[in-house]
């Protein structure tokens, strides 16, 4: 005699599953709509005119978009490179050596970009860099690279630190026991183990830099639009699916990088 009975599931709370599914639908419906309309053959962001890649071609052929894309890429690569390098050093300096004086101050300093509202930092950088621009006459991409590198530091730092904290200290002791110099220990033991954390940190920094709007908007000099600020500028004109096409391309890039990030960070298990 087999009776089908509903099992008593302790993890179920009233209405929770329904709300959760609704939340996922609400979260994805706008993004999916945006992506679908990037393939719109018509000229409108809300009237469907058949499937077409014309807006991707339009965006790719637009010199302003090309320039913005190149700038976004240069800034993101340089800024994430700088941020990852200094964050790796800082992570090595602040983990696995016990508590030391000023450690909290360093933490606060490194995580500062996560705490201060971005608009405040943007305003501060506007004031600071505009006086330097006047004083030096230099108006290149350097300001944007430095500004991006600074707010990318905590995003690079956190995964590297997490990796370091999960690392077995005795491995370095073992290396030292086997005649390795401190540099050799770092080069052949610490760094290879740390590498997934470093790559993960660099990826997050890259995505964060690529996505930034506010600080870029305030720091950029004339003609220094990145993709996000270009899109923000398009708002003043009639929106065309070109914005959807650029958004979809950026979205795809983000998803690819994130997938790689998850694969890298999960490999250790």
Partner 1 sequence: MSEEHAVVAQNVGKVYGTGAAAFTALGDISIAIRKGEFFTLLGPSGCGKTTLLRCIAGFETPTSGAILLSGRDITGVPPNQRPVNTVFQSYALFPHLTVAENVGFGLKMQGKSKAEIDAAVDRVLGLVKLEPFATRLPAQLSGGQQQRVALARALAPEPEVLLLDEPLSALDLKLRKAMQVELKRLQTETGITFIFVTHDQEEALTMSDRIGVMSAGALLQVGSPHEIYEKPVDRFVADFIGETNFLEGEARADGVEIAPGVVLPVTGHAGPVTLAVRPEQLRIGPPGEGLEAEVAEAVYMGTDTHFTLTLAGGPQVVARVQSRAGPEPRVGDKVGVSIDAAAVQVLAE
Partner 2 sequence: MSGPGRSKAANGWLLSAPALLLLLVAASGPLLIVAVYSFLEKGDYSGVRWILSGEAWFRVLFERDIFDGTVSLADANLSIFWRSVKLSLATTFITFALGLPTAWFIATRPPKARAVWLFLITIPFWTNLLIRTFAIMEVIRNQGLLNTFLINLGVISEPIQILYTDTAVLIGMAYVYLPLMVLPLFAAIDRFDFKLIEAGYDLYATRWRILRSVVLPIIKPGIVAGCILVFVPSLGAYVTPRVLGGGKNMMIGNFIELQFGQGQNWPLGAALSMVLLVIVMGALLIYTRVSSRDDPHA
Binding of partner 2 by 263 (CB under 8 A): no
- How many residues sit in the footprint of partner 1 (CB under 8 A)? 8
Q: How far is the CB of 155 from partner 2 (least distance, A)?
A: 10
* Nearest to partner 1 of 11, 170 (CB atom): 11
Q: Which of 10, 115, 134, 169 binds partner 1 (CB under 8 A)?
A: 10
Enumerate residues 145-204 that contact partner 2 by CB under 8 A. Answer: 146-147, 149-151, 153, 157, 204
Cβ(261)–Cβ(162) below 8 Å = no
Q: Which does 1 bind (CB under 5 to 8 A by kind): partner 1, partner 2, none?
A: partner 1
Sign of the C-alpha dihedral computed for residues 68, 85, 261 and 162 taken in this order: negative
Q: Which does 3 bind (CB under 5 to 8 A by kind): partner 2, partner 1, none?
A: partner 1
Q: Which does 6 bind (CB under 5 to 8 A by kind): partner 2, partner 1, none?
A: partner 1
Integer Cα distance of 217 and 121 in angstroms: 12
Q: Closest by alpha carbon to 247, among 103, 37, 20?
A: 37
Q: Which of 15, 61, 137, 223 binds partner 2 (CB under 8 A)?
A: 15
Binding of partner 1 by 14 (CB under 8 A): no
Q: Which of 74, 92, 162, 264 binds partner 2 (CB under 8 A)?
A: 92
Cβ(129)–Cβ(143) below 8 Å = yes
* Nearest to partner 1 of 3, 99 (CB atom): 3
Binding of partner 2 by 80 (CB under 8 A): no
Binding of partner 1 by 2 (CB under 8 A): yes
| C-beta contacts of 63-72 below 8 A and 24+ residues apart | 64/225, 64/230, 65/227, 65/230, 65/242, 65/246, 67/225, 68/225, 68/226, 68/227, 68/229, 68/230, 69/227, 71/141, 71/144, 71/224, 71/225, 71/226, 72/210, 72/226, 72/227, 72/228
Binding of partner 1 by 5 (CB under 8 A): yes
Enumerate residues 105-134 that contact partner 2 by CB under 8 A. Answer: 106, 109-110, 112-113, 115-128, 130
* Nearest to partner 1 of 7, 134 (CB atom): 7
Among 5-13, 36-44, 101-109, 171-179, the segment contacting partner 1 (CB under 8 A): 5-13
Other CB atoms within 10 A of residue 97 CB: 9
**Contacts to partner 1 by CB under 8 A:** 1-3, 5-8, 10
């Amino acid at each position: 005699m087999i009776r089908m009975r509903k099992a008593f599931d302790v993890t179920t709370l009233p209405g929770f599953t329904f709300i959760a599914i609704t939340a996922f639908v609400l979260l994805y419906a706008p993004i999916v709509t945006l992506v679908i309309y990037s393939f719109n053959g018509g000229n409108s962001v809300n009237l469907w005119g058949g499937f077409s890649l014309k807006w991707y071609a339009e965006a790719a052929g637009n010199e302003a978009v090309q320039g913005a894309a190149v700038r976004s890429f240069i800034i993101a690569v340089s800024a994430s490179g700088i941020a990852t390098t200094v964050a790796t050093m800082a992570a090595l300096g602040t983990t696995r050596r016990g508590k030391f004086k000023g450690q909290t101050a360093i933490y606060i300093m490194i995580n500062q970009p996560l705490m201060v509202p971005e608009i405040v930092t943007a305003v501060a950088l506007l004031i600071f860099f505009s006086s330097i621009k006047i004083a030096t006459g230099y108006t290149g991409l350097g300001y944007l690279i430095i500004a991006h590198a600074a707010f990318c530091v905590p995003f690079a730092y956190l995964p590297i630190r997490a990796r370091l904290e999960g690392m077995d200290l005795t491995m370095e002791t073992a290396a030292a026991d086997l005649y390795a110099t401190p540099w050799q220990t770092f080069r052949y033991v610490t760094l290879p183990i740390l590498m997934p954390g470093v790559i993960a940190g660099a990826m997050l920094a890259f995505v964060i830099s690529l996505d930034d709007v506010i600080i870029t908007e305030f720091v950029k000099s004339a003609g220094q639009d990145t993709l996000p600020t270009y899109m923000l500028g398009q708002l003043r004109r009639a929106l065309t699916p070109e914005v959807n096409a650029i958004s979809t391309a950026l979205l795809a890039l983000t998803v690819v990088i994130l997938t790689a990030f998850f694969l890298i960070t999960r490999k250790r298990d």
